[in-house]
Protein backbone atom coordinates (compact mmCIF):
# COMPACT_ATOMS: atom_id res chain seq x y z
CA UNK A 1 0.00 0.00 0.00
CA UNK A 2 1.21 3.47 -0.76
CA UNK A 3 0.76 6.21 1.80
CA UNK A 4 -1.11 9.34 0.82
CA UNK A 5 0.72 12.64 1.26
CA UNK A 6 -0.46 15.05 3.93
CA UNK A 7 -3.01 17.50 2.56
CA UNK A 8 -2.78 21.24 3.06
CA UNK A 9 -5.08 22.67 5.72
CA UNK A 10 -5.83 26.40 5.94
CA UNK A 11 -8.02 28.64 8.12
CA UNK A 12 -10.00 31.38 6.42
CA UNK A 13 -13.10 33.55 6.51
CA UNK A 14 -16.22 33.00 4.40
CA UNK A 15 -16.80 36.02 2.14
CA UNK A 16 -19.62 34.62 -0.03
CA UNK A 17 -22.19 31.83 0.38
CA UNK A 18 -24.50 32.59 -2.57
CA UNK A 19 -23.73 29.36 -4.43
CA UNK A 20 -25.27 25.96 -3.75
CA UNK A 21 -22.90 23.70 -1.78
CA UNK A 22 -20.03 26.15 -2.35
CA UNK A 23 -18.50 29.05 -0.45
CA UNK A 24 -15.75 31.55 -1.20
CA UNK A 25 -13.00 31.62 1.42
CA UNK A 26 -10.52 34.48 1.94
CA UNK A 27 -7.21 33.40 3.45
CA UNK A 28 -4.98 36.18 4.76
CA UNK A 29 -1.23 35.81 5.20
CA UNK A 30 1.38 38.25 6.44
CA UNK A 31 4.46 38.53 4.20
CA UNK A 32 7.55 40.68 4.53
CA UNK A 33 8.28 43.05 1.66
CA UNK A 34 11.54 41.84 0.09
CA UNK A 35 13.15 45.30 -0.18
CA UNK A 36 11.61 47.46 2.53
CA UNK A 37 10.95 44.83 5.19
CA UNK A 38 7.44 46.08 6.01
CA UNK A 39 4.87 43.40 6.83
CA UNK A 40 2.11 43.40 4.20
CA UNK A 41 -1.22 41.60 4.41
CA UNK A 42 -1.84 39.35 1.40
CA UNK A 43 -5.29 37.88 0.66
CA UNK A 44 -6.09 34.87 -1.53
CA UNK A 45 -9.63 33.76 -2.38
CA UNK A 46 -10.56 30.12 -2.91
CA UNK A 47 -13.81 28.33 -3.64
CA UNK A 48 -14.53 25.49 -1.24
CA UNK A 49 -17.08 22.68 -1.18
CA UNK A 50 -19.67 22.95 1.63
CA UNK A 51 -21.83 19.81 1.45
CA UNK A 52 -24.42 20.81 4.09
CA UNK A 53 -24.66 24.52 3.13
CA UNK A 54 -23.85 25.25 6.78
CA UNK A 55 -21.43 28.15 6.30
CA UNK A 56 -22.55 31.78 6.43
CA UNK A 57 -20.73 34.99 5.53
CA UNK A 58 -18.25 35.95 8.26
CA UNK A 59 -17.74 32.43 9.63
CA UNK A 60 -14.19 31.31 10.37
CA UNK A 61 -13.65 27.87 8.79
CA UNK A 62 -10.95 25.25 8.35
CA UNK A 63 -10.56 23.97 4.78
CA UNK A 64 -8.57 21.06 3.36
CA UNK A 65 -7.08 20.66 -0.08
CA UNK A 66 -8.76 17.90 -2.11
CA UNK A 67 -9.00 16.55 -5.62
CA UNK A 68 -10.73 18.82 -8.15
CA UNK A 69 -14.49 18.90 -7.50
CA UNK A 70 -15.36 21.35 -10.28
CA UNK A 71 -13.63 23.89 -12.52
CA UNK A 72 -12.63 26.17 -9.63
CA UNK A 73 -13.17 24.10 -6.47
CA UNK A 74 -10.07 22.41 -5.04
CA UNK A 75 -10.83 22.84 -1.33
CA UNK A 76 -13.37 21.31 1.07
CA UNK A 77 -14.75 22.72 4.34
CA UNK A 78 -13.76 20.49 7.27
CA UNK A 79 -15.28 22.41 10.17
CA UNK A 80 -16.66 25.77 11.24
CA UNK A 81 -14.41 27.21 13.93
CA UNK A 82 -16.27 30.41 14.80
CA UNK A 83 -19.76 31.60 13.91
CA UNK A 84 -20.50 35.21 12.93
CA UNK A 85 -23.19 36.77 15.14
CA UNK A 86 -26.46 37.32 13.25
CA UNK A 87 -28.28 40.61 13.82
Residue 18: closest CA among 63, 51, 55, 61: 55
> Looking at residue 87, what is its pLDDT?
66
DSSP string, 5-22: PPPPEEEEEEEE--STTE
Predicted model pTM: 0.84
pLDDT(52) > 80: yes
> Looking at residue 84, what is its pLDDT?
77
Q: Go through the domains of the chain in sequence order and give each one's CATH number.
A: 9-82 (2.40.50.140)
- How much is the mean pLDDT over the chain? 93
> Looking at residue 4, what is its pLDDT?
80
Mean pLDDT is lowest, of 16-20, 39-43, 56-60, 81-85, for 81-85
Which 8-state DSSP code applies to residue 67?
S
Amino acid sequence: MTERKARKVQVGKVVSDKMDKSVVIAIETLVRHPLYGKTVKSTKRFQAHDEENACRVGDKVRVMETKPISKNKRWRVIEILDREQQI
